[in-house]
Amino acid sequence: MHDPAGLYDLAPDASDVPEGLPLVAGLTGSSDAGGAVGQLAEFLVAELDHSMVASFDADELLDYRARRPVFTFDQDHISEVATATLSLRLVTDDIGQPFLLLSGFEPDFQWQRFTAAVVDLVRRYRVSTTTWVHSIPMPVPHTRPIGVTVSGNRADLVESLSVWRPVTQAPANALHLVEQRLGDSGHPTAGFVLLVPHYLADTEFPDAAVAALSSISAATGLIFPTDRLRSEGRDFLAKVDEQVHGNHELSRLVSTLEERHDTYMEGNPLPSPLTDQDGQVPSADVLAAELERFLAGRRPDDEA
């Protein structure tokens, strides 16, 4: 394996970064239901003071054909070309607590080398804990709080917050490799999988970002200014509820999802919050299609 440090460039003042900070991570890849990770990174960078620590080499890690740069054409010339980025930042939370943030695109290539690079950075800065988030679509109702499945070696978080603990196989995120490598070394790690209503998976669902921030706070003690996101979430859900209440079929399907979710959460012997007693996943294709058409047709001035 080539030197993992060759994948990133340290900022000039990277040596001034304090040791012992928590690391928060989220990478946008094949699954980002509700835009949870994308919104999380955008929110933290926009709302909080931050500085660059390390920038990863997109030419080594990114498939440009799959995620093409976006150019701006200004009348007769190209004024800007924006390429996806992957970086480590030093960020300060709402009450002045510093932490490290790893965010950007999920690598398309060299996952083992990327994992080794992140582990090296964790060791360089003597990171105290590593917490990461991603999100997947699930047949759960938007009228209930977003649940999480917790992985890692922090038993307190698994016990108190993980609502669904399946034995299953699924496609990995690059940060799954990082979690496993850090966990094997005894480093405290926690991964939060947000269970986002599948019919809202292709939208920017503000409550998904709030759930991500709440999970990070529970794991790290960091404090975030979430009032704006919560307000946007209330407006967003009001529009969804309006669509559902105006359609008997949609209302019936949401009620079915609610019933199965509540039965599971009450401790009844359902193996999953997603299925009925016969193990069948509720059919909500009509719900998804109707709401997707509704959300796709929202005018710009309808946005919160």
Predicted confidence (pLDDT) per residue in 169-225, tens digit: 888 999 999 999 999 999 999 999 999 998 899 999 999 999 999 999 999 999 999
* Helices 227-245, 248-265: inter-axial angle, 10-degree rounding: 120
The confidence band for 112, taking pLDDT boundaries of 50, 70 and 90, is very high
For the chain, which residues make up each domain, given as ranges?
Answer: 4-226, 232-302
Average pLDDT estimate for 276-300: 52
Helices (H) and strands (E) in the chain, counts: 9, 10
Token output for 217: 């706070």
By DSSP bridging, strand 23-28 and strand 70-74 are unpaired
Q: Count the neighbouring beta carbons within 10 Å of the beta carbon of residue 2.
A: 10
Residue with tokens 């932490």: 99
The pLDDT mean for the chain works out to 89
CATH fit for domain 4-226, picks 3.10.580.10, 3.40.50.980, 3.40.50.10900, 3.40.470.10: 3.40.50.10900
Strand partners, 54: 10, 88
Quick: pLDDT tens for 269-282: 444 555 544 444 44
C-alpha neighbours within 13 Å on the C-beta side of residue 302: 11
Alpha carbon distance 271, 255 (integer Å)? 19
Alpha carbon distance 252, 287 (integer Å)? 9
Compare 150 and 272 and report the one with higher pLDDT.
150
pLDDT-wise least confident of 18-27, 41-50, 287-296:
287-296
Q: Count the neighbouring beta carbons within 10 Å of the beta carbon of residue 82.
A: 9
The confidence band for 288, taking pLDDT boundaries of 50, 70 and 90, is low
Compare 249 and 202 and report the one with higher pLDDT.
202
CA terminus-to-terminus distance, the chain: 48
pLDDT of residue 297 exceeding 60, the answer is no
pLDDT-wise least confident of 20-29, 120-129, 231-240, 289-298:
289-298
- Which DSSP category does 162 fall into? B
pLDDT of residue 47 exceeding 90, the answer is yes
Global pTM reads 0.87
pLDDT-wise least confident of 160-164, 267-271, 293-297:
267-271
DSSP H helices in 5-154: 36-47, 58-61, 111-124
